[in-house]
Amino acid sequence: MSELLILFAIWLWMLLAVSLHEWSHWAVAKIVGLEPTHLNVGQGPVWWRGHLGLTKVTMHWWPFSGLVLARWSSEAGLRWRGTTFALAGPACDAVLFGVLGLIFTQQSANHFMSEVRATLIILMWLQGGMWVTSLLPRMVSSEEYVLGSDGKQAWDFVTGNMPTAQVAGGINYQREVARYDPAFDVTGSWLHEADETIRQDYEVGLGELIADDPASGLAKLKRVLAAGPIGGAERAALLDQMASYVAMHRKMEFLTDAVEWAREAVALQPEAPTLRGTLGGLLIDSGQLDDGMRLLLPLTAESSDQMDRSIAFAYLALAYSRSGDRRRAHDALNASFELNASHGMAERIAQEMRA
């Protein structure tokens, strides 16, 4: 068996294993009454993107991670439902590890060639590592989301700590708000005291944005803002989520509102560079090139956050393109992709520039 064939077998198994892991989460979510909104398999270039009902599905070529985001309209039985959902993936990993072990035992008894046994050993190590790491309680990143590993999510559901750990199935709330105010402490969050109706609007609204339903999702989040209990850095974070959704997904029908959301967010937390980046990009989208570039150029410094730099360069590329400076537009777009090769917004801006 050639080395290339062994590598292909490893890639094919990992694609199968990660896919089954994530589809197990999806299937169990449906069974226990959760609403899966997003399923992602792998990293890097996308080979298929579509929808399965309300679930947005994205398949990448490099099968080394994945996620399923789910929302819930009721907290009744959430501890057992959420725990079952979180442990579905590791349970699938355990079954696949057992399958590999049985195949290895059978092939050893039949004295199969050493290359096959070596490949099975590699696959067992990879499958076992995937199983163990999914259960380790830690924070992980996949696509633009930060969320708990399967083990951490299961523990959070069991302990009833979901408002602290995650909101709408995909955001580490403490870390998310601390991006705008490092002194933020989640124990004082409005979520702990929020009216159930407002809390539900918040969680479902974010879930609908993830599921690419902006009209309904943004309407619910606007109701949350109007209700009044959310302020400070938390309000700025929500405003930025709404405004950056419009920017990232190029939903220009909401552009006027998005500019106002971004302006309010900057007024609340003027020192937060991410907020200035969102406003700068939206100003460029609205044709205010000079004002937008003034906000974005400082964010391209090497001392800035990598994601902020990538977004700033992508929007500067759009500004240069609209002003007729094709050389600078090309250089800025390349800089954006160098910082984040799989940045979806930069890809969409590149398509606009080519149109």
Does the pLDDT at position 253 exceed 80?
yes
Highest mean pLDDT among 43-47, 114-118, 133-137, 181-185: 133-137
CATH fold label, 176-279: 1.25.40
Structural domain spans, the chain? 3-155, 176-279, 287-355
Q: What is the pTM of this model?
A: 0.58
Phi (first) and psi of residue 102, to 5 degrees: -65, -45
Length of the chain: 355
| Segment 246-253 mean pLDDT | 91
C-alpha–C-alpha distance, residues 150 and 304, integer Å: 31
Mean residue pLDDT across the chain: 86
CA distances from residue 189 to 71, 221, 342 in whole angstroms, order as listed: 20, 17, 33
- Range of lowest pLDDT (33-42, 100-109, 184-193): 184-193
The residue with greater pLDDT, 46 or 189, is: 46
Kindly report, residue by residue over 308-343, the tens digit of the pLDDT: 899 999 999 999 999 999 899 899 989 988 887 556
pLDDT at 163: 43
- Range of lowest pLDDT (35-39, 164-168, 186-190, 239-243): 164-168
pLDDT at 231: 84
By DSSP bridging, strand 139-142 and strand 145-148 are antiparallel
Kindly report, residue by residue over 265-299, the tens digit of the pLDDT: 999 999 999 999 999 999 999 999 999 999 999 99
pLDDT at 169: 41
